[in-house]
Structure 1
Amino acid sequence: MDNESFSEVEAEEPVRAEVDSFPSKPDTRQPRPWLIPLFAGTGLGIAIALGSMGILSYLPARQQTAVANKAAPKVNPAMTVTIASVEKTRVTRTLNTTGTVAARDLIPVLPQANGLQIKIIPEDIKEGTFVKKGQVLAILDDSILQAQISQAKADVESKQADVASKLAEQASKLATTVSNQAIVQQKKADLAQSQARLEEAQKNFQRYQKLARAGAISQQELDTRSYTVKTAIEAVRLAEENVRGAKANVGSAQANITSAEANVNKAKADVRSSVAKVQQLQAQLGQTVVRAPVSGIVAEKLARVGDVTGVPPQTQVGTIIGGTQKLFSIIRDERLELQAKISEIQLPQVEVGASVQITSDLDNRIQLQGRVKDIQPLVNDKRREATIKIDLPPTDLLKPGMFARAAITTNTTIGMTVPQKAVQPQPDGSAILFTLSDKDIVHTQTVEVGEPIDDQRVEIKSGLQLSDALGQDVSRLRVVVDGAGYLKDGDKVRVVTQ
């Protein structure tokens, strides 16, 4: 109990003593018995008043004022409340929007060989399954390729046999050429021999002409020598003809060799073509195993056992890429992004690299921290909106096509915060606080609520005294927390410590 309470009790004690000092009278039936205590009380009151005036005349002015204040009626507290100080803190301004979750890098898986039937798809290959680079996604039927490879190998063997035949023919032509060249040499030798005989016959004829002129021999003998010369001349002519014929045979044989070489080269080319076809078919045989080109999550599984690659079902007409049917699509490294829409008016507030808080109305577990990766350069000319792409961290809670909310950080400033429980929403959509004065009297203050800081505190954008709240002594501004919902402006409260 404070000093004022002790003074008040001491002032009341003499009054109670005097009242108690009156002797009680027996209850006798006298006329108007109520007048006796009335007169007694009136006299007692006059005495007390005169005594008090006398005492006050001797008190200093300060004590007289204190006595006068004690005589005023006291206001009882309306209720007990707890309070909190307004604090200054760093407040993050955000821009709220919504968007659709999409794959950041969607990789299509295409068959490398068309016209083949899908034979096997492993049971663990499903949409949402994580696959590693090189993992088998599907196996195609290779029976047709196996038959084509066998046929190509047989063709190679046939072409190789043809090459051997052409080489043998070429060797025969070469031998004929060599033989013809030998014949040419023989014919040349025969020609030389005939020319020697002709020369001898001509010399003999000249000698016999001299003898015939001298009359040493007869004319018949001279005619015989003349015939021998003519015979020798004919033999030379025939030998020359044989030489020319032999040379012609050699030229023909050489032409046959050239033709044989061309046939050999063509046969060898056919062999190389057949071998290349075998290698191509063997490469296609390796392509009958469809493998994951990258590691990631299977986003789409379009292939079914029995489908023919390159001939999509009617329901998959839209899955053709570059003339080839898409079998699967994979989200590379499980990376997702949120594609959100921002109006052109808000677009200047967003910067690449800004932090983004991702949440969902359907799953309160989704509390992710993303970052603005890209702002698309084109603005939709009808809705006046631009698309921003927000990188998302790896998570199992989000899937492509899901809806999510994004709070994009635009800037950071210093502001005032109070406990959320201190803010009292009003029916008209406004909000109020109850501030506490030094005399424990509360006053209503209409405020504008800003961003929530955490689960406990909220920003007050306007309505409080900024100079007090942001000054050196922040605790000067106090607000009611517990019990604020039951107060009205001007109530006196009892403050307790939390």
Structure 2
Amino acid sequence: MADEGFSDLEVQDSVLAVDDIEKEEQGKRRRGWLTPLLLGLGLGIAIAIGTIRILDQRSTAQKAPAASKVAASIPPAMTVTTTPAQSTSISRSLNVSGTVAARDLTPVLPQASGLQVKQVLVKVGNSVKAGQVMAILDNSLLQDQIRQARADVESKQADVTSKQADLVSKQAGLTSSQAALAASQAVVQQRQADLAQAKARLVDAQRNFRRNQELLAQGAISRQVLDTNETTFTTAREAVRQEEANIRSAQANVESARANIGIAQASVQIAEAGINSAQANVKSNNAKVEQFKTQLGQTVVRAPVSGIVAEQLTRVGDVTGVPPQTQVATVVGGSQKLFSIIQDGQLELQALVPENQLGQIKVGATVQITSARDNSVRLQGTVRDIEAIVNQQRREATVKIDLPSTSLFKPGMFASAAITTTTQTGVAIPQKAVQSQSDGNTVVFMLSGEDVGTGASAKVDKIKTQKVEVGEILNGDRIEIKSGIRVGDRIVVDGAGYVKDGDTVRVNQ
């Protein structure tokens, strides 16, 4: 009963005294002459402590009421900050794992085959824009073909010019023949007019000759006059014949002129045909030039889409269309694949989910993704697709999860994902308010609600230890509390690691 009366100070003094005695006994071998002195000193201390205990017990019995008042006014041990337990929506998730892959892997194919790769301008991991040059093929042969085609164009163009000059000459000949025809036709017309006049004179001479014959028979004129009229008649008749011959000659000239026109027209047509042929040759060679230019443009390999280079399957010296033996699998549509681009850098996580858990997953569900290499990496994705076919051997299906744009993941990396399956209401508190105990339990420190007065600037309350069952870690450094506390309970946050059950604390609201 006497021991119950010791004060903390007395116990501490006693312990210190005993410690001193033990230290002195350990040194008695070095200082044997001090042993008697130390023993006397220890005995004196023990007697003093016993006397103090007896006096303290008597003093406690006499002053119990006063001690109760003093205990009630013990100052708070420290100041803490509290927060109420809050109601929150808690998502349940299904943990899966899978491989990061490109959502849309676009192949880059050469447009020209049989050409050697001269330059490679990008490498795996580079970002490229649509139309950006990725590689350049050897175009020396095409350059020679373009020069030859241009020379052919110039030659054919010169031939066109020559034929056009010949056409002009032929057209001038045609014009001359047409003019000769017109002149011949005019001569014919003139001869026909002369013939008409000659016939008129013949008719007049014949009439005079017949009339003079009658007059001669009547004796009205002399024979000489008749002979003169006969000569005039004969001359007029010959003049008609001559004019008729002239007309026939002029008409022959007209036919000849017409024949010449036909020949000239044929020459013009031949010249025009030659020009058309030469112009066709010019167009053909121009087409060859453009074709070679197009092929020249195809020697520049450009990115078909914007994105990130995922594969580089060619190197300087390779020949397009002739994949190395190790790249047989890189042939797409009969052409050798030179590069692969992750379009717009979009990645997806291809997670394998057991058949019996597929029903828990919905398209559009949110997913928390972590890296197997770096636990600090946390991204949020979305379930985009669930493959309809289940692997018959593993009884698993692939769930495709869209990843946000990031440089933290590369195709082929392994990642874990927590797919949200359900959402319900629960209780949540700051994670740092939860304390782990040496016995394996998890507790929080909450206000007991006892009325112990107020401090200088804040409310004073007592600490109560409450065992809890924790659930999932939530956003905002909060944690789910499955059992142990209710919504509204005030939980110690700042200072939770420095208090214990029954402590009196000052509370900052």
Q: TM-score range, shorter-chain basis?
A: 0.5 to 0.7
Aligned residue in 2 for 1:387: 399
Contact 2:350 2:398 in 1 (8 A): no
Tell me the secondary structure at the aligned position of residue 400 of structure 2: strand
| Matched residue count | 385
Give the residue type in structure 2 aligned to 1:421: S
Cα gap change, 1:149/1:497 in structure 2, threshold over 3 Å: closer, same or farther? farther
TM-score by length of 2: 0.63
Cα gap change, 1:423/1:272 in structure 2, threshold over 3 Å: closer, same or farther? farther
TM-score by length of 1: 0.64
Q: 1:235, CA displacement in angstroms?
A: 2.0
Tell me the secondary structure at the aligned position of residue 378 of structure 1: coil
Cα gap change, 1:390/1:341 in structure 2, threshold over 3 Å: closer, same or farther? farther
Give the residue type in structure 1 aligned to 2:137: L
Contact 2:113 2:321 in 1 (8 A): yes
* Gap regions ≥5 residues in structure 2: 6-82, 214-225, 449-466, 492-496
Contact 2:349 2:403 in 1 (8 A): yes
Cα-to-partner distance string for 1:227-277 (whole Å, 9 max, x where unaligned): 432232222123123213313432442343344334323322322332232
* Gap regions ≥5 residues in structure 1: 7-84, 426-431, 439-444, 476-480, 483-492
Alignment of 1:63-462 (within 5 A): 90=88, 91-122=90-121, 125-131=122-128, 136-213=133-210, 214-215=212-213, 216-217=226-227, 222-343=233-354, 346-347=357-358, 349-361=360-372, 363-365=373-375, 367-372=377-382, 374-376=384-386, 378-380=388-390, 382=392, 383=395, 385-395=397-407, 397-410=408-421, 411-415=423-427, 419=434, 421=436, 450-453=471-474, 461=482
Q: 1:212, CA displacement in angstroms?
A: 3.1
Cα gap change, 1:334/1:420 in structure 2, threshold over 3 Å: closer, same or farther? farther
Aligned residue in 2 for 1:63: none
Tell me the secondary structure at the aligned position of residue 381 of structure 2: strand
CA–CA distance in structure 1, aligned partners of residues 128 and 85 of structure 2: 51
Cα gap change, 1:107/1:137 in structure 2, threshold over 3 Å: closer, same or farther? same
CA–CA distance in structure 1, aligned partners of residues 363 and 435 of structure 2: 32
CA–CA distance in structure 1, aligned partners of residues 412 and 335 of structure 2: 25
Q: CA RMSD in A?
A: 4.3
CA–CA distance in structure 2, aligned partners of residues 423 and 391 of structure 1: 41
Cα gap change, 1:235/1:255 in structure 2, threshold over 3 Å: closer, same or farther? same
CA–CA distance in structure 1, aligned partners of residues 107 and 473 of structure 2: 43
Cα gap change, 1:415/1:376 in structure 2, threshold over 3 Å: closer, same or farther? same
Cα-to-partner distance string for 1:405-432 (whole Å, 9 max, x where unaligned): 101223253147894835978xxxxxx8
Identity of aligned residues (%): 47
CA–CA distance in structure 2, aligned partners of residues 364 and 424 of structure 1: 31
CA–CA distance in structure 1, aligned partners of residues 120 and 323 of structure 2: 16
CA–CA distance in structure 2, aligned partners of residues 299 and 420 of structure 1: 47
Give the residue type in structure 1 aligned to 2:198: A
Tell me the secondary structure at the aligned position of residue 426 of structure 2: strand
Q: 1:278, CA displacement in angstroms?
A: 1.9
Contact 2:471 2:479 in 1 (8 A): yes
CA–CA distance in structure 2, aligned partners of residues 423 and 264 of structure 1: 106
Q: 1:219, CA displacement in angstroms?
A: 6.0
Cα gap change, 1:195/1:143 in structure 2, threshold over 3 Å: closer, same or farther? same
Cα gap change, 1:117/1:97 in structure 2, threshold over 3 Å: closer, same or farther? same
Say which is worse superposed, 297-306 or 452-461, in terms of deviation.
452-461
Q: 1:141, CA displacement in angstroms?
A: 0.9
CA–CA distance in structure 1, aligned partners of residues 477 and 487 of structure 2: 23
Contact 1:127 1:298 in 2 (8 A): yes
Q: 1:400, CA displacement in angstroms?
A: 0.5
Q: 1:180, CA displacement in angstroms?
A: 0.4
Contact 1:419 1:456 in 2 (8 A): no
Contact 2:363 2:386 in 1 (8 A): no
Cα gap change, 1:340/1:384 in structure 2, threshold over 3 Å: closer, same or farther? closer
Cα gap change, 1:497/1:356 in structure 2, threshold over 3 Å: closer, same or farther? farther
Give the residue type in structure 1 aligned to 2:400: I
